[in-house]
Chain A
């Protein structure tokens, strides 16, 4: 398959997924008790107020028509008005999305920087004490609710040892945030912990699997030293499936960001989403879900493309 037709196919697939997400979001919107009107007008609204609102918003028309109307608005970047913040949802999101991306990308990169060497180390020392200790610890990291981990981090590294601030840096854009790097330490660590746990496991099993491959034996038969085989051959071959897993992991990263932002009061989309949930600000909630889903689908797409770049076989259409 050529790169061109691969891209087209893959993007069409991604669009299909996004379309399905809009259906889910639309259904959620209409699953609200009393529909969106009750949600927006509040529990005290009378039946006639609701009817008037529904007529005004076109909510008394058939559902498929409403869905098309909703889609049309989406395509034009119109996600509605926030009920509590009195600003267009799209603007609220545009302000916060870059900051959330900064947090997630930082967590992912730092997480991988630790996870990959740990996994390789475990594989090389398989069933030795080091392997057991790291496995135990990564299961612990995986099993700890992020908010509990964040809390412990704050208690230890902010209250007991006053090393880092308990609150994330504030500011309107990414530059403001980056100007106060100490404030980023605890949120990023909290966000990266699960990443380290999951990906060190992936890397461990991928490396173990590759160490038993025939090509390792061929390289040994050619006189290559174990360390050279590990760095020149096994490492690259093990990294490919791990990159593919990265795509699946994007939603978990965003889920983590939701909790971390709330916990550290980090001014991103997660916090926006959180406050919207407290105040039943449905347009914001649904707008955020849509944008996060698109971001997830894009992340998966990027991981796929990255895999094609590093594995010539995938490019040739045989994986």
Chain B
């Protein structure tokens, strides 16, 4: 069924990484925090161990501890043995000799992982020369170019002379990988290596890592929160929860037959992309248009273009985009970064005035409405934005945040009436009423997003615009927040414009979908049809790149995707 090489479990004792009762304690301003406790794991040469968990589970701390890269306020206990050397308690000189040669690391954020003022070739050469003093600068530079070629960077001779800011996010991550493999390490630690990347780039980077690891028999410790990535890449999985490992096992066992309660809950919360079975026909398109009874769309963009700047440096953020959101329905707006989906949502909100085209809000053309009338129209909008930290004013209490729309649009209300409405809407988003007196800072990310939702709903709007409302949240929290939105939509009947980069979430959540690409609406239609049987190549590629959290299915999808890619390449050459 699969052509992928599956190394046999090696005999104990020749592990490249051995963690034994590893613990990490952080000393912070507000006391000490036990981030990791009693973690015992191993990685054999040639195998990939995925360390999964939600934020705060301690997975990244384990990775950093294995590199000896913990922050100054952290103290590690136990043992972390890399190729015979215990990293815990090793001095900096010893660690320097180990890092970059025996063990190396790929980080999450390619935007900041490289020195902005040093050419990338030089940064790779530095890693080579750290461990091979006898290599001349010229030889190291030549090897850096070779490494760039190996990680799939086109025109490596020229790119070696680039500064990091001149490369795309995916290319930067390839440079970081080139640095990591420069001295053929026995162990590669990858900490969320694809989290900051678009899904198509993620697939390429995972392919690259898999190929490199297979070529050299490198053991990989992959830290991730993404179950799809785990299914795509890992041989074995360790699940972490609150600093401890709760379950370990082969990837099929853990993802398909989890034994621990936490793993079960986690997996059930992961939104799954439902894919068409081979031979399944495209669903009936007849109900693609909404029920006419619901009347005019809540918001409608007609042929909207947005240009930022002018002249040579003008950026065409939107090019002739049209879509409408109807009452009581959810329209999903999906696309990769730079596709214009956020700009489109901001146009719908009236925060960006379109360069061309028109925006109609509740049947009124925004460009032709007077300021006062426009203000009244806006009382019908609720907004939830991505960042749970930046969305709420840190100087206000939760109650004041939620009450703000009332103060803007219903100024006659008495203080008591306002409090009553706030309490009511907090009930609706299932937050205890007491949080009204709290500061936003005291709440968790998921709670804060619910406060944002409460603020958005306090005026009982006719349109809710949600721009990546759950992408900063863990999957379990995401599920709870989406659940609340769905229920309230059923109760209150608002239209919802839902912007997301996550196809699986949109598939579950939106009735219709618009796929955006480079400022254009590439494809739109019923979610059940468009995301199962896409009409454009782009959407097909996008869907194929999404890893699903089932190792067996994912193996098949990967093989299919790579075959399509190879076929495409042959076609190009022909």
Contact = CB atoms under 8 A, between A and B. Distances in A.
Query: Do chains A and B directly touch (beta carbons under 8 Å) in the complex?
Result: yes
Interface in A188-228: 213-215, 217-226, 228
A318 interface: yes
B112 A222 contact: no
Nearest to A310: B117
Contact of B100 (A223, A226, A232, A236): A223
Contact of B107 (A1, A214, A312, A316): A214
Given A226-B92, A232-B118, A221 B105 contact: yes
A226 B422 CA distance: 54
Given A221-B69, A223-B100, A233-B118, A214 B126 contact: no
A206 to B, nearest CB: 13
Q: Main SS of the interface on chain A?
A: helix
Contacts of B114: 215, 218
A100 B313 CA distance: 43
Size category of the A interface is 20 to 34
Find the residue from A1, A219, A220, A223 having the highest chain B CB count within 10 A: A223
Given A218-B114, A313-B116, A223 B179 contact: no
A218 B117 contact: no
B565 to A, nearest CB: 30
Nearest to A224: B130
Nearest to A214: B112
B126 A222 contact: yes
B109 interface: yes
A131 interface: no
A222 B179 contact: yes
Contacts of A317: 313
Contacts of A219: 115, 123, 126
Contacts of B96: 220, 223-225
Interface centre among B92, B117, B126 (most CB of A within 10 A): B117
Nearest to B163: A312
A237 interface: yes
A214 B115 CA distance: 8
A312 to B, nearest CB: 5
A262 interface: no
A118 to B, nearest CB: 22
Contact of B98 (A223, A225, A232): A223
B360 interface: no
A213 B112 contact: yes
A289 B159 CA distance: 50
B101 interface: yes
Q: Using C-beta atoms within 8 Å of the partner chain, give the interface range for chain B.
A: 20 to 34
B165 A215 contact: no
Contacts of B93: 225
Contacts of B98: 223
Contacts of B67: 221
A310 B118 CA distance: 11
Interface in B143-187: 163, 165-166, 176, 179-180, 182
Interface string A305-319: 000001111001110
A240 interface: yes
B530 interface: no
Nearest to A237: B117
A240 B97 contact: no
A317 B309 CA distance: 13
**Residue of A218, A233, A236, A310 with highest tally of chain B CB at under 10 A:** A218
Given A221-B69, A222-B127, A223-B127, A215 B112 contact: yes
A312 B69 contact: no
B113 interface: yes
A198 B183 CA distance: 43
Nearest to A312: B163
Interface string B382-393: 000000000000
B61 to A, nearest CB: 14
A214 to B, nearest CB: 4
27 contacts: A1-B313, A213-B112, A215-B112, A215-B113, A217-B69, A217-B113, A218-B105, A218-B114, A218-B179, A221-B67, A221-B99, A221-B104, A222-B99, A222-B179, A223-B96, A223-B98, A223-B127, A223-B131, A224-B100, A226-B92, A228-B126, A232-B118, A232-B126, A233-B118, A311-B117, A313-B163, A318-B165
Per CB-CB distance, the 6 closest pairs between chain A and chain B, nearest first, are A223-B100, A222-B127, A222-B100, A214-B112, A223-B130, A221-B105
Interface of B: 67, 69, 92-93, 96-101, 104-105, 107, 109, 112-118, 123, 126-127, 130-131, 163, 165-166, 176, 179-180, 182, 313
